[in-house]
Amino acid sequence: MNKISTPKELPEYSESIVNTVREPLIIMDQHLRVITASRSFYDFFRAEPKDTIGKLIYNLGNNQWDIPKLRELLETILPQKTSFDDYKVEHDFTTIGWRTMLLNARQVERSQSNDRIILLSIEDITERNAIQEGLVKANKELEILTKDLVKAAQVKSEFLANMSHELRTPLNSINGFSEVLYDETFGTLNEKQKQYVKNVLVSGNHLLLLINEILDMAKVEAGKMTLTVTELPIKEILYEISGLIKDAANKKNLKMVIDISTYLKNIQADSLKIKQILYNLLSNAIKFTPDGGEIGIKATQTDTETHIVIWDTGIGIALENIEKIFEGFFRIETPYSRVTEGTGLGLPIAKKLVELHRGKLKVESEGNEKGTSVHIILPIKHITTVIRDENKNSHS
Amino acid sequence: MKTKIVIVDDNANNLLLEKDLLIVAGFEVHTAVNANDAIQLIKEVKPQVIVLDVQLPDISGAELARILRSSIDTVSTPIVFVTASVLQSDIDHLLSIPDSAYISKPINTRTFSKQVSQCIK
Ligand SMILES: Nc1ncnc2c1ncn2[C@@H]1O[C@H](COP(=O)(O)OP(=O)(O)OP(=O)(O)O)[C@@H](O)[C@H]1O
Ligand SMILES: [Mg+2]
């Protein structure tokens, strides 16, 4: 028998079940004619029951539903499998526009008669899809951005390294020729000539110092700074560097307090870099302490670490600047610092060099006018890198 | 007889500076401004030491050094690189050439000739 089903053939409660589901739901007979549809179906597809019930599904909404993929699902897949989930269909509806849907279909045998009904629920995933696609796209863009940033940092470091290299070549002749003139290798100069050549030489050397600092920073940032580790008599080095800065301290009437433990073991570290660190920090202590103040070095050791403190009673550092002084090119604006020279790279370089040794550098200050102390912790045994023979690169 | 030196540098000022310093120190100095001329000059002069700028217009100083090491006349002539590079990796690369040393730029005019003569065997 081939009679057309009507809603009346469904028990009343099934009608209300159909209407409670939130997703659009259609029930069809085995000839794909609509028996009933949920309220959500009418709402979502802006359809009316009178244009829907009894119609062939493909003819709904002026044949809007004649979708090849839907035909495939209903006519080919379902007769074989009786149920099918998450069947993705994309379609451009004239009423509601472009939609991406997931279809779930069930084929149910009816007990009284031999015919079947088909349940078709429709999940609209257009927005979810858009969000997902957006996320994937955003992710890709983020990846590209990260790569660009890494590359930009690299380009910057390479640029700085190349630039410093290029600058050293002309400086070679500026400093070289003025040195030869100043030394009067090819004949004597009068007093004024000698003074002027000296001025050129002093400026040239200052420029070289700046270039070297910029280069050091670029090298550390590009990961190209390598350590030449040897066994260092740290005690002697501390005395040597304090000797070097004694004149500068005396000039400013600064009292130097040296408190270096007599029992300091040798440490494994890069001699030049350790001297550079200590020199930088002691120069800062002198530079930022007004006449008549005090500066000091204290050094102690545990079994595994050397602890060095370089302190002063100078202008101190305000709490809000304690982080910034490590950013590079940062110089605190105070009436006092304006008269001091510098680029603001000494401290960041010192910190990076300490960290290359797997040590720690920390700056402490109670604030303006309260003095500063810089703490360095260096491991006694150098970790990982092979110890090099320092005599290998002996020239210059 | 004076000790013979060949200096190779494409920068005229640096070449002049190094030349003057070495002449004052009593060397017989010959100069070239590129690797090609340098090879010819070194063949003729047979210097006791060669001073090489690392960046030359035709080939790098390191490549020139390897060419010199492959010739019987210059297989062990000391080579002093003068380099503005401060990257340890660059310097290690230069020093991997046998009988080589380096002086970094800017040079110290007061010690330059001494540094060079220390390399002569
Ligand atoms: N001991 C200190 N007391 C007070 N302020 C300090 C001290 N050390 C560093 N600072 C502050 O941190 C800033 C950065 O220090 P850093 O050593 O990097 O730069 P600089 O000494 O000014 O220049 P450079 O060391 O490059 O010649 C200084 O300009 C100063 O404002
Ligand atoms: Mg400083």
Q: What was the pLDDT predicted at A184?
A: 95
Count, residues in chain B: 121
Phi-psi bin for A117: left (phi > 0), alpha (psi -120 to 50), beta? beta
Cis peptide before A68 (omega within 30 of 0): no
Q: Counting atoms of ligand 1 from 1, which one is nearest the CA of A340? A: 22
Confidence band (pLDDT; 50, 70, 90) for A136?
Answer: very high
What is the Å distance from ligand 1's center to A284 Cα? Answer: 6
Q: What was the pLDDT predicted at A176?
A: 94
Contact A395 B80 (CB under 8 A): yes
Q: Which numbered ligand comes closest to the C-alpha of A288?
A: 1
User: What are residue A25's DSSP bridge partners?
Assistant: A121
Q: What was the pLDDT predicted at A334?
A: 66
pLDDT of residue A384 exceeding 60, the answer is yes
pLDDT of residue B18 exceeding 90, the answer is yes
Give the C-alpha separation, A376 to A234, whole Å: 13
> Could you report the per-residue pLDDT of B22-73, keeping only the tens digit for each?
999 999 999 999 999 999 999 999 999 999 998 888 888 899 999 999 998 9
Q: Among 1.10.287, 1.10.10, 3.40.50, 3.60.21, what is the CATH number of A131-221?
A: 1.10.287
Contact A393 B85 (CB under 8 A): no
Closest CA relative to residue A92, chosen from A130, A66, A55, A74: A66
DSSP string of A146-179, one letter each residue: HHHHHHHHHHHHHHHHHHHHHHHHHHHHHHHHHH
Q: Among 3.40.50.2030, 2.60.40.10, 3.40.50.300, 3.30.565.10, what is the CATH number of A229-379?
A: 3.30.565.10
**CB crowding A296-323: b at 16 or more within 10 Å, else e:** bbbbebeeebbbbbbbbbbbbbbeebee
pLDDT of residue A5 exceeding 70, the answer is no
Distance (Å) from the C-alpha of residue B81 to the closest C-alpha of chain A?
10
Radius of gyration of chain B (CA): 13
Our answer on whether the CB atom of A345 is closer than 6 Å to any ligand 1 atom is yes
> Could you report the per-residue pLDDT of A315-350, keeping only the tens digit for each?
999 988 999 999 888 777 766 655 567 778 899 999
Taking any CB pair shorter than 8 Å as contact, residues of chain B touching chain A are 11, 13-14, 17, 20-21, 24, 80, 84-89, 91, 95, 101-110, 115, 118-119
Minimum CA distance residue for ligand 1 atom 1: A285
Contact between B44 and A205 under an 8 Å Cβ cutoff? The reply is no
For residue A48, what are the CA distances in angstroms to A25, A38, A39, A42, A118?
A: 14, 11, 10, 6, 20
Q: What was the pLDDT predicted at A169?
A: 85
> Could you report the per-residue pLDDT of A261-281, keeping only the tens digit for each?
999 999 999 998 999 999 999
Mean pLDDT for chain B overall: 91
∠ CA B111-B114-B118, nearest 5°, is 140
Contact B14 A169 (CB under 8 A): yes
Confidence band (pLDDT; 50, 70, 90) for A9?
Answer: low
Binning chain B into helix, strand and coil, the percentages to the nearest 5 are 40, 20, 40
Give the C-alpha separation, B78 to B56, whole Å: 19
Q: Which CATH topology does A7-124 take?
A: Beta-Lactamase (3.30.450)
Domain ranges of chain A: 7-124, 131-221, 229-379
Q: Which CATH architecture has domain B4-117?
A: 3-Layer(aba) Sandwich (3.40)
> Could you report the per-residue pLDDT of A187-241, keeping only the tens digit for each?
999 999 999 999 999 889 888 888 888 888 877 877 778 888 999 999 999 999 9
Average pLDDT value for residue range A361-386: 88
pLDDT of residue B88 exceeding 70, the answer is yes
Let me know if A241 is exposed, middle or buried by CB neighbors in 10 A (0-12, 13-18, 19+). Answer: buried
Q: Provide the token pair at B32.
A: 């070239």
Count, residues in chain A: 396
Q: What was the pLDDT predicted at A79?
A: 84
Contact between A88 and A73 under an 8 Å Cβ cutoff? The reply is no
Minimum CA distance residue for ligand 1 atom 14: A344
Domain ranges of chain B: 4-117
Give the C-alpha separation, A51 to A59, whole Å: 10
